[in-house]
Amino acid sequence: MKLRVDSKPISFHGQVVTPGVVVVGKEILGAKSFVLQEREIAYQFFLHQHPYVQQLVQRLLHAGTAGLQRTDTEYVTKPDGSWETLPDGKKFKPILYEDFFASHYSPDPSLVLNTNGSPYPVKDLDFSSSGAYAVYNWELFFHVPLTIGIHLSKNQRFAEAQRWFHFVFDPTDDSGGSTPERFWKVRPFQHTDVKKIEEILVNLVTNEDPTLRRETVHSINAWKDAPFRPHVIARYRQQAYMYKTVMAYLDNLLAWGDSLFRQDTGEAIDEAMMLYVLAANILGPRPLPVPKKGTVRTQHYANLREDLKQFSTAMRDVEADLPFDLFPFSTNGSNTHDQLASIRSLGKALYFCVPRNDKLLSYWDTVADRLFKIRNSLNFQGIFRQLALFEPPIDPGMLARAAAAGLDIGSIVNGLNQPLSLVRFQVLIQKATEIVQEVKSLGNLLLSSIEKEDNEALAILRAKHERGMMDLVEHVRFAQLQEAKKSKEGLLQSLALAVQRYTFYELQLGKKLEEIEQSIPELEDLDTESLAKMKFSMKEQEVAFRDIEVNIAQDLGESGGKIISSYESQELNQFEGARRLQDTAAIFDLLGKELSLIPQIGAKAQPMGGGVDVTFGGAQLSTMMSMMSSSVSLGADQMNYAANKAAKIGSYTRRELDWTFQSNLAAGEISQIFKQLRAAQIREHIAELELNNHRQQIKHAQEIEYFLTGEKNADWTQKMTPKDKKTANKALYTWMKREVRGLYSKCFQFAFDIAKKAERALQHELGNPDLTYLQFGYQAGKEGLLAGEKLYLDVKRMEMAYHDLNQREYELTKHVSLLQVDPLALIQLRMTGSCTVQLPETLFDLDGPGHYFRRIKTVAVSIPSITGPYASVNCTLTLLKSSIRKTPTLLDGVYAREDAEDSRFSDYFGSMQSIVTSSAQNDSGLFEPNLRDERYLPFEHSGVMSEWRLELPGNPSNGEPHQFDYQTISDVILHMRYTAREGGGLLRQGAIANLKTTIEDAEASGSVRLFSIRHEFPTEWAQFLTQVPEAGKRYELGLTLREEHYPYWAQGRLKTVKHVEVLVQSPSSGSVDIFDIPDTTNPAAKKDALSKDTDMGNLL
């Protein structure tokens, strides 16, 4: 608990406390109360959102990637064109910036601790280490372009990589901003105060800058906590990101320049030099090593332990080797203390110095090496060579096919300029086949990864659909449970009605209510355990039925054949008897009425005064019949009564039977409802189980979905851990597909490059540059899945073409004597240890006129000389240039080469090859010359029309040491084994005619003869030496040239001497005058001054 206590005492929980100390919880905690010291509490507000997401998206859509990357370094411009600054006056105001807190929340200034600058949060592109969304800005404006640039550079796409690097660091920016801020395109780097490591370490000890020391300590602690996470340190020291960016930019420039330099063409080297110069300008002058100015006493850990700081740094006194060396010069403004300090000549320095950055220093070495080689006409390997004036022609049809396939023309052209492989076609085609097989395997793996990813996606989709359907079915299951409950409730209601009906009828049938209640059983609860065990055997109780006595009349009588009861039969019979009696009574009434028609017969007697008056007639008879009718009617009435009584009893009987039947129906219905209730209980239990099972299925579906996707919804109740996730999930197959696709692409490119090298070797070995079997667009289509199969077919076609077209050529051997071909070169070799010799085509036309396409197979060197015992003759033979006559045709009937652009010849400049001899006795520079070597032999397939350089280890003219006397070298013989093709009679005639012409013009090989006067004209030389020299007198040396002094082929063909050169070895440093006649006073005398020629070893 934190409290701020002012200067006045306050009451806290009924206790008065003094300012500065607060006792917390004493009344509650008693003796366990604690004391909290006074401290100030301050709150700092931060913006916990990214305020400009929509603006960045709109910027990307309207201005593209470049416009988006410029967003963080674009500032508000004033009307005068200058940039508006923030309230602190140090930084410029970005276009995406809003100071909203004060206007929206109106904070009390008296409660704000710090009002310097802007104490409130602002809407800005935040790059601070504490910003909630700063990491996204770092990713967007720094890490993404830098990572893309590095990736493109590794894939040899240097121009695109440089474009992405320029989003972070652009040293080519020539805008009017300050330097170096204008070169940085990420806002934090424009305001980063770069500190030297030494200053930071010294500040750890001296604490002159507490803020810097605190940040340094935090960064060191973060480094200790995460020693293998460089980004943790870079967040505290952004200079690390700046170093990384500059080094990545330099790596791209150097790799780009090296790629162009290896092409070894004039234009490519000029472009490479521009890149190296740009790298040199970025690096600036090389840092000078700081000389050691003093010494420090040797310390051990015990002495340093007390002074070691957070980074194991310690300061120690340094005593200067030179006085006053460690301190600045005294000035007029310096005080006496400073001057005394200078006199003491003592200082302090870190005991452990800052190590040198070899990685950074290597850039100066690399740039200097590349520029030195270019400026001194050396190739990438450092060998001197002469470049062709023009690059080889490019087939425009091939470029058109490449453009139609959507390929980069620059990469295609660069591929054409690649040097020839070091190994033969057979080796390359074997390796190409092996790699193409790997490409096919990777293609199958890529297809499998795609299928597995689709299967996983389908499984995830199915799992989500199943879970979604289960969520919907859950409502149905719940409704089914409710339906089962309501059905049971309905059955219970039906049971109550049946019980009520049964009770009613039983009461009507005379049964007591208590007996009725006892006769109705209760339904037992459902035994769910027996159901779970699948051993359900419950029996439902039943209500007993009443016996029904049915009284069926045996004699149906007047029922008309209908089934009637005895009472109904009796009723019918009584009604029938009453009817008959009524009929009889009716007859009597009728007879009475008819008898009433009989007249009255009277007799009257009146004895004794009372008379008897007797009358008899129809009236008496009618009355008698009426009496009889009444008597019969009375019987009929009795029978009707009996019939009605029987009917009433019959109706009661039927009612009783009906009540009994209804009672039995109610009893049966109750029993049936018991069965139905049991079934309803089972259905309710089933519905509840189905709902529970369905919910369990939902949990299982959630587990399956989490297992497949690793994603969990907030509404899931199932507990899941990361270990429940599937390892081989969609993310794995997506990653695998991406990695396999990249590996497949790289492997295919690797295989294609090897196949191109094999094709280049095929063209070179067969001597036909038009043989092309590889195509473009192998990877076009669906993920380029059949690229390996297509390339494999072309590789096999190329292999068969080699066997079909590799015809045997003429195989010849030529021993070229340097003394015969170029004697001046032999003298230069003797005097300087090196020389250059050219072998023209006419030299080989003497062996086989009409041959063309002469190519070297092997070259060996013999140097006859006098050497000491076990002394080796080490001569470096270098091929400078070679040419091949590639067609047997004549140009306008002319055999000889017209100029450098003659299309009948192919010149090769760049492929520098050299051998070094050991014995110089038919020495090929190889331990074991093997014509079936996997690598090309030295100079193999180069043209015999060539230019060579011979170099011995030392230059005698410069006093360099050498193992034997080069003057004893009598000759140098090149043993050349070469192949040639037959050119036909027309070419043969042209060659012979050209030989005649060159011989007549004294331009054929061997037309120059070297004569050693002392060895070949000993008599004339002896006579010349026996003459006594006199002052002012000249002596004549006469030499007679005869036919035996010339080659055999020149006999009878050389008429006159075309040119004479005299070489003299003289100890004199001056020149020597020679004349063509002894009389130097004769005006006709011709004079020539012999002076030293450094190229000829200072010979005159």
Does pTM top 0.75 for this prediction? Answer: no
- Lookup: tokens for 348: 């302090």
Whole-number mean pLDDT of the chain?
Answer: 76
Whether 495 is in a domain gets the answer no
Tell the burial category of 831 from Cβ atoms under 10 Å away from its Cβ (0-12, 13-18, 19+): buried
Report whether pLDDT(105) > 50.
Answer: yes
Specify the DSSP element, H or E, that contains 831.
helix 823-832
Q: Among the three residues 709, 741, 758, which one is the final residue of a domain in this structure?
A: 709
Residues 694 and 576 in one domain: yes
**For residues 632 and 324, which has the higher predicted lDDT (pLDDT)?**
632
Specify the DSSP element, H or E, that contains 999.
helix 985-1000
pLDDT of amino acid 911: 57
pLDDT in tens, 702-729: 888 888 877 777 666 666 666 667 788 8
Angle formed by the axes of helices 425-508 and 730-766, nearest 10°: 160
**Separation of alpha carbons 381 and 262, rounded Å:** 9
- Lookup: tokens for 414: 């660069």
**Separation of alpha carbons 973 and 923, rounded Å:** 10
pLDDT in tens, 842-892: 888 888 888 989 899 889 999 888 887 888 888 888 888 888 888 888 888
- Lookup: tokens for 660: 């009994």
- Quick one: what percent of the chain has pLDDT higher than 90? 5
Task: Give which of 710, 697, 714, 692 is closest to 467, Cα–Cα.
Answer: 697
Residues 6+ apart with CB under 8 A from 629: 584, 585, 586, 587, 588, 589, 592
Residues 704 and 851 in one domain: no
Q: What angle do CA 973, 979, 985 make, to 5 degrees?
A: 110
| Cis, bond preceding 180 (omega within 30 deg of 0) | yes
Q: What is the largest CA-CA distance in the chain?
A: 259
Whether 336 is in a domain gets the answer no
* 910 in Cβ contact with 385 (< 8 Å): yes
- Lookup: tokens for 837: 């010799």
Whether 356 is in a domain gets the answer no
**Separation of alpha carbons 64 and 67, rounded Å:** 5
| Backbone torsions φ then ψ of 286, nearest 5 degrees | -65, 135
Q: Please report which confidence band the pLDDT of residue 78 belongs to, taking 50, 70 and 90 as the band edges.
A: confident
Whether 640 is in a domain gets the answer yes
Residues 704 and 832 in one domain: no
**Separation of alpha carbons 1005 and 820, rounded Å:** 8
Q: Identify the domain containing residue 25 by its residue range.
A: 1-41
Task: Give which of 841, 989, 949 is closest to 905, Cα–Cα.
Answer: 841
Specify the DSSP element, H or E, that contains 470.
helix 425-508
Residues 829 and 971 in one domain: yes
- Lookup: tokens for 937: 């032999």
**For residues 577 and 2, which has the higher predicted lDDT (pLDDT)?**
577
Whether 58 is in a domain gets the answer no
Beta bridge partners of 923: 861
pLDDT in tens, 1056-1087: 766 677 767 666 666 666 666 666 666 666 66
Give, in order, the Cα–Cα distances in Å from 175 to each of 63, 76, 165, 193, 245.
20, 17, 17, 22, 20
pLDDT of amino acid 1053: 62
Whether 218 is in a domain gets the answer no
* 706 in Cβ contact with 720 (< 8 Å): yes
Residues 684 and 830 in one domain: no
| Backbone torsions φ then ψ of 347, nearest 5 degrees | -155, 180
Q: Among the three residues 709, 735, 764, which one is the final residue of a domain in this structure?
A: 709
Give strand ranges (E) for 297-402.
Answer: 315-320, 346-350
Whether 457 is in a domain gets the answer no
Highest mean pLDDT among 4-13, 525-534, 605-614, 888-897 belongs to 888-897
Report whether pLDDT(248) > 80.
Answer: yes
Residues 6+ apart with CB under 8 A from 692: none
**Separation of alpha carbons 792 and 790, rounded Å:** 5
pLDDT in tens, 274-284: 999 999 998 88
pLDDT of amino acid 21: 44
Q: Among the three residues 11, 26, 41, which one is the final residue of a domain in this structure?
A: 41
Tell the burial category of 124 from Cβ atoms under 10 Å away from its Cβ (0-12, 13-18, 19+): buried
Q: Please report which confidence band the pLDDT of residue 39 belongs to, taking 50, 70 and 90 as the band edges.
A: low
Residues 834 and 968 in one domain: yes
Give CA 537 to chain center in angstroms. 67
Residues 6+ apart with CB under 8 A from 953: 833, 874, 960, 962, 963
Tell the burial category of 174 from Cβ atoms under 10 Å away from its Cβ (0-12, 13-18, 19+): exposed
pLDDT of amino acid 252: 92
pLDDT of amino acid 417: 55
**DSSP assignment letter at 155:** T
**DSSP assignment letter at 183:** G
Query: How many CB atoms are closer than 10 A to CB 228?
Result: 6
Residues 701 and 816 in one domain: no
**For residues 734 and 408, which has the higher predicted lDDT (pLDDT)?**
734
Task: Give which of 973, 1064, 965, 1078 is closest to 1013, Cα–Cα.
Answer: 1064
**Separation of alpha carbons 551 and 407, rounded Å:** 112
Helices and strands in the chain, H and E counts: 30, 21
* 13 in Cβ contact with 27 (< 8 Å): yes
pLDDT of amino acid 983: 86
* Average pLDDT rounded to a whole number, residues 292-299: 60
Q: Which of 27-36, 609-618, 1066-1075 has the lowest mean pLDDT?
A: 27-36
Task: Give which of 70, 334, 89 is closest to 186, Cα–Cα.
Answer: 70
Residues 560 and 699 in one domain: yes
pLDDT of amino acid 278: 92
Specify the DSSP element, H or E, that contains 367.
helix 358-375
Q: How many domains, in total, are found in the chain?
A: 3
**Separation of alpha carbons 235 and 737, rounded Å:** 34
Whether 882 is in a domain gets the answer yes
Query: How many CB atoms are closer than 10 A to CB 1081?
Result: 7
**Separation of alpha carbons 170 and 186, rounded Å:** 10
Helix (H, G, I), strand (E, B) or coil at 1098: coil
Query: How many CB atoms are closer than 10 A to CB 220?
Result: 17
Question: For the chain, percent helix, then strand, then coil, each to nearest 5?
Answer: 50, 10, 40
